[in-house]
């Protein structure tokens, strides 16, 4: 039996709830990332300015966050061994994290970030119109007779409600789009 | 009595009744739609309440909270797809009954049990909240700190994939609440030079990101689901025979649900599962459960709706949320300038009666709406996901933006959503993080005060009996999941040994 087959068998055993190692690889990485982040934030807290003389008698501003970072760090160190403790619920975590992330999820994330990035430039109204038209298209909707009335009526109503009824200021953007 | 009348009068305004009804309709809609949840709807609705009076805003959110829990039962019964997690147990008997051609009867049983559970828990809210507030008003900061710590420790046992992950998420939530200017010393903490963070991480965009955007990203790879529909006749109110059969189940589940709701962090889902299990345990027809019997619907439905009233008890009396939805309502109360806790009930006791009246109206309204519109609400699942989720995104964008008309808040929403999506994948739920974010300021404020009073000594704090009690409860609460894990492991080993033996 070669090494690849061994690895495959071990993965299969893990999937079927067979014997597991002492520590779980992905959770060890997660724990290390969390501990490193806690360490970094602890270090950042060391750079907080000193409070004034009278205020210094209070609990120092870094005191409470540091306690939390220590608690998170200690709990994170338990993560690599969690699969041996949570035998019933552990398969759910494994199933959830091993499910592939679809390309559509990454594309949706990317488009969301781009939309937020250009939002201030194109203005609030156009941002929500792009969201209402873009997401259906992104997710494979091609029935224009559905998309256009939906986008027009829905975004129109929401814009009217927030801009006119609730008096929320809408950034007009470079196109100067505003209801007021 | 005068206070009660004043409280009722605060809600008797047609505009407030109108917003409660809107909250109820949105709640039933959201509850009925698989994927959308009450916390998500509350998060998306909070920005709409900005121009409202505090009482109208909280009444609307409370109406949505009650109705959202009930709404899930409609799709659980008619299409075997619980619209909300608390309705999952209802599907076990509701759907088989509907398949037998008794969909109207199943819906009627669910509605009456929900309303009864909801109203009984409201009566307990009315009695328990002032009593609890009277006790809590004597608490010093040390007791409050210990109580908030106990509430945080309860995160270990709330439903989720892992106790350790729930606790980590809860502590991360508390940590995020420390971002911004430290109120006692005026020192900037973890702002990294971003001016918008001086006042702290914006609460509403974080909520919307974690609940709405993370779920939207999760849905991006789910295909269109086609549900097998059961033909729904007009909803039938339970017959006298059915009433006789379920009355003790409803009473028992209402008590159980209210108690579970009162416990910090435990919510309607846990109540519903326990309500179903208890209904089965007490029944002399145990073997019929799962085949569509009335007790199997009444048990979880009475319990999950009773949990809503129960969860409002610690929220209003202590300022400690009883569930994730009440954590959001608590956040909305703070946003509207209210400080939930014993002093609110001491100084404005009419507020409790107003909330009671609003939730009572919501319960009666969803009964009427449920009876009239169950068939219509079950059709909501026909809305294509390519229209439903873009609508959620539009509300998420506008809802995040509306609070301070700032695109920075939309950035926070988007980042919280992406982080929330990856958190979900690796077993961290948004609920503990939000509970931590809400509890954070209470924990820190009382921790700081208690440390000053007790000369920075935790041991000195523990000389107070209530502090000792809450610390003891915290240890018990943390030990609970460890004990269950050891038990589960022992059972698994036993099972494997038996298999090997065979």
A121: Cβ contacts below 8 Å, ≥ 6 apart: A173, A174
pLDDT of B404 over the 90 cut: no
- What pLDDT score does B12 carry? 86
Instruction: Check pLDDT > 70 for residue B227.
Output: no
Task: Name the B residues in 201-220 with CB < 8 Å from any A CB.
Answer: 213, 216-218, 220
- Give pTM, 2 decimals: 0.85
pLDDT at A10: 41
Q: Mean pLDDT over residues B367-379, rounded?
A: 76
Quick one: A42 exposed, middle or buried, by C-beta within 10 A (0-12, 13-18, 19+)? middle
For testing the chain B interface, which of A20, A37, A55, A131 should be mutated: the one with the most B CBs within 10 Å?
A131
Per cent of chain B over pLDDT 70 is 94
Averaged pLDDT for residues B237-247: 87
Q: Specify the pLDDT at position A13.
A: 43
Handedness of CA B365, B41, B55, B351 (dihedral sign): positive
pLDDT of residue B231: 62
ipTM of this complex: 0.87
Q: What is the mean pLDDT of chain B?
A: 86
Sign of CA dihedral B38, B44, B45, B47: positive
Whether B136 and chain A come into contact, CB under 8 Å, resolves to: no
Are residues B389 and A105 in contact, defined by beta-carbon separation less than 8 angstroms? Answer: no
- At B274-321, the pLDDT tens digits run 899 899 888 888 888 888 899 999 999 999 999 988 998 888 888 888
| B448 contact A CB<8A | yes
Residues B373 and A140: beta-carbon distance below 8 Å? no
**Which of A58, A94, A134, A173 has the highest number of chain B CBs within 10 A, making it the mutation to test binding with B?**
A58
Contact by Cβ (8 Å): B96, B277: no
Between the alpha carbon of residue B325 and those of residues A36, B27, B68, B111, the distances in Å are 32, 12, 10, 21
B residues 330-369 near A, CB within 8 Å? none
Whether residue A6 has pLDDT greater than 70: no
d(C-alpha B363, C-alpha B117), whole Å: 10
**Are residues B443 and B174 in contact, defined by beta-carbon separation less than 8 angstroms?**
yes
> Which of B47, B156, B171 to mutate to probe the A interface, most A CBs <10 Å?
B171
From A98, A155, A91, select the one nearest A123 (Cα to Cα).
A155
Q: Is the dihedral of CA B36, B37, B38, B41 positive or negative?
A: negative
* Average per-residue pLDDT for chain A: 83
3-state secondary structure of B201: coil
pLDDT at A43: 96
Count structural domains, chain B: 1
Q: In this complex, which of A58, A154, A170 lies closest to B184 when CB atoms are compared?
A: A58
**Closest alpha carbon to A127 in A138, A113, A141:** A113
Report, as an integer, the average pLDDT of B308-337: 88
Of B402, B427, B451, the CB nearest to A166: B402
Which domain does B375 fall in, by range?
Answer: 2-501
Lowest model confidence (mean pLDDT) among A85-89, A95-99, A119-123, B274-278: A85-89
What tens digit of pLDDT does each residue of B444-494 get?
Answer: 988 988 888 888 888 888 889 999 999 999 888 888 777 777 777 777 777
Do B386 and A140 count as a contact with CB atoms less than 8 A apart? yes
| CB A76, CB A38: distance < 8 Å | yes
Question: CA angle A107-A108-A110, nearest 5°?
Answer: 65
pLDDT digits (tens, 9 = 90+) for B36-48: 788 888 988 888 8
Which of B385, B391, B410 faces A119 most closely, judged by CB atoms? B410
Using 50, 70 and 90 to split pLDDT, how confident is the model at B230?
Answer: low
Helix extents (H) in B137-199: 141-153, 163-176
pLDDT at B374 exceeding the cut of 80: no
Closest B-chain CA to A52 = B185
Instruction: Please name the residue of chain A whose CA is at the shortest distance from the CA of residue B223.
Output: A139
Judged by CB atoms closer than 8 Å, whether chains meet at A48 and B390 is answered as no
Spatial CA neighbour of B23 closest among B4, B6, B2, B48: B48
Question: Which has the minimum average pLDDT: A36-50, B72-86, B382-396?
Answer: B72-86
Answer whether B198 touches A (CB < 8 Å). no
Mean pLDDT, range A1-10, rounded to an integer: 41
Residue % of chain A over a pLDDT of 70: 85
Task: Write down the pLDDT at residue B210.
Answer: 92
User: pLDDT tens digits, residue range A8-46?
Assistant: 444 444 444 444 677 888 899 999 999 999 999 999 999
pLDDT of B224 > 60? The answer is no
Domain boundaries, given as residue ranges, for chain A: 3-98, 103-165
A145 to chain B: which residues are within 8 Å by CB? none
User: For residue A54, what pLDDT is reported?
Assistant: 64
Question: pLDDT tens digits, residue range B148-204?
Answer: 888 888 877 665 678 889 899 999 999 999 999 988 888 899 999 899 999 899 988
- CA A90 to chain centroid: 21
């Amino acid at each position: 039996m070669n090494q690849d087959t061994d690895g495959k068998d071990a993965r299969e055993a893990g999937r079927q709830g067979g014997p597991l190692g002492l520590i779980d690889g992905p959770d060890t990485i997660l724990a290390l990332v969390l501990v490193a982040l806690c360490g970094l934030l602890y270090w950042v807290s060391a750079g907080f300015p000193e409070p004034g003389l009278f205020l210094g008698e209070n609990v120092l501003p870094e005191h409470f966050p540091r306690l939390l970072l220590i608690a998170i760090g200690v709990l994170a160190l338990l993560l690599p061994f969690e699969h041996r403790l949570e035998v019933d619920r552990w398969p759910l975590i494994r199933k959830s994290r091993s499910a592939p992330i679809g390309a559509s999820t990454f594309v949706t994330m990317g488009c969301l970030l781009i939309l937020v990035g250009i939002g201030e430039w194109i203005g609030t109204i156009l941002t929500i119109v792009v969201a209402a038209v873009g997401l259906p298209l992104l997710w494979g909707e091609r029935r224009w007779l559905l998309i256009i009335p939906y986008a027009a009526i829905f975004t129109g109503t929401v814009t009217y409600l927030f801009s006119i009824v609730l008096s929320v200021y809408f950034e007009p953007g470079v196109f100067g789009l505003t209801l007021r | 009595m005068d206070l009660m009348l004043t409280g009722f009068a605060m809600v008797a305004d047609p505009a407030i009744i109108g917003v409660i009804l809107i909250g109820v309709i949105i709640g039933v809609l959201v509850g009925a739609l698989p994927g959308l949840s009450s916390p998500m709807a509350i998060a998306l609705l909070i920005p709409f309440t900005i121009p409202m009076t505090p009482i109208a805003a909280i009444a609307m959110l409370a109406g949505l909270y009650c109705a959202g829990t009930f709404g899930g039962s409609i799709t659980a019964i008619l299409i075997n797809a619980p619209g909300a997690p608390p309705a999952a147990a209802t599907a076990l008997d509701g759907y088989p009954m509907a398949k037998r051609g008794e969909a109207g009867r199943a819906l009627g049983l669910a509605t009456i049990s929900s309303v009864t559970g909801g109203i009984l828990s409201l009566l307990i809210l009315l009695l328990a909240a002032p009593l609890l507030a009277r006790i809590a008003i004597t608490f010093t900061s040390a007791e409050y700190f210990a109580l908030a710590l106990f509430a945080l420790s309860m995160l270990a046992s709330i439903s989720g994939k892992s106790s350790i992950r729930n606790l980590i998420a809860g502590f991360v939530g508390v940590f995020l609440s420390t971002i911004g200017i430290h109120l006692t010393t005026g020192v900037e903490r973890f702002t990294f030079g971003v001016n918008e963070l001086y006042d702290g991480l914006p609460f509403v965009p974080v909520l919307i990101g974690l609940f709405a955007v993370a779920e939207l990203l999760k849905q991006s790879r789910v295909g269109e689901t086609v549900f097998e529909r059961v033909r729904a006749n007009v909803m039938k109110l339970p017959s006298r025979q059915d009433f006789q059969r379920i009355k003790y189940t409803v009473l028992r589940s209402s008590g159980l649900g209210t108690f579970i709701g009162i416990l910090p962090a435990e919510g309607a889902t846990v109540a519903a599962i326990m309500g179903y299990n208890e209904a089965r345990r007490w029944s002399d027809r145990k073997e019929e459960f799962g085949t569509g019997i009335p007790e199997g619907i009444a048990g979880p439905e009475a319990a999950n709706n009773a949990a809503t009233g129960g969860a409002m008890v610690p929220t209003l009396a202590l300022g400690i949320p009883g569930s994730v939805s009440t954590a959001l309502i608590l956040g909305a109360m703070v946003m509207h300038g209210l400080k939930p806790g014993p002093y609110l009930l001491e100084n404005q006791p009419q507020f409790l009666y107003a909330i009671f009246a609003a939730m009572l109206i919501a319960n009666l309204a969803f009964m009427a709406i449920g009876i009239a519109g169950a068939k219509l609400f079950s059709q909501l699942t026909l809305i294509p996901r390519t229209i439903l989720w873009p609508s959620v995104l539009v509300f998420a964008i506008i809802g995040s933006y509306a609070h301070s008309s700032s695109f920075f808040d939309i950035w926070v929403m988007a980042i919280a959503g992406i982080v929330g999506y990856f958190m979900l994948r690796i077993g961290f739920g948004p609920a503990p993080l939000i509970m931590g974010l809400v509890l954070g300021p209470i924990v820190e404020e009382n921790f700081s005060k208690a440390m000053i009073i007790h000369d920075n000594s935790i041991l000195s704090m523990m000389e107070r009996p209530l502090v000792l009690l809450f610390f003891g409860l915290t240890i018990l609460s943390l030990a609970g999941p460890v004990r269950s894990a050891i038990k589960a492991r022992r059972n698994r080993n036993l099972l494997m040994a038996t298999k090997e033996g065979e």
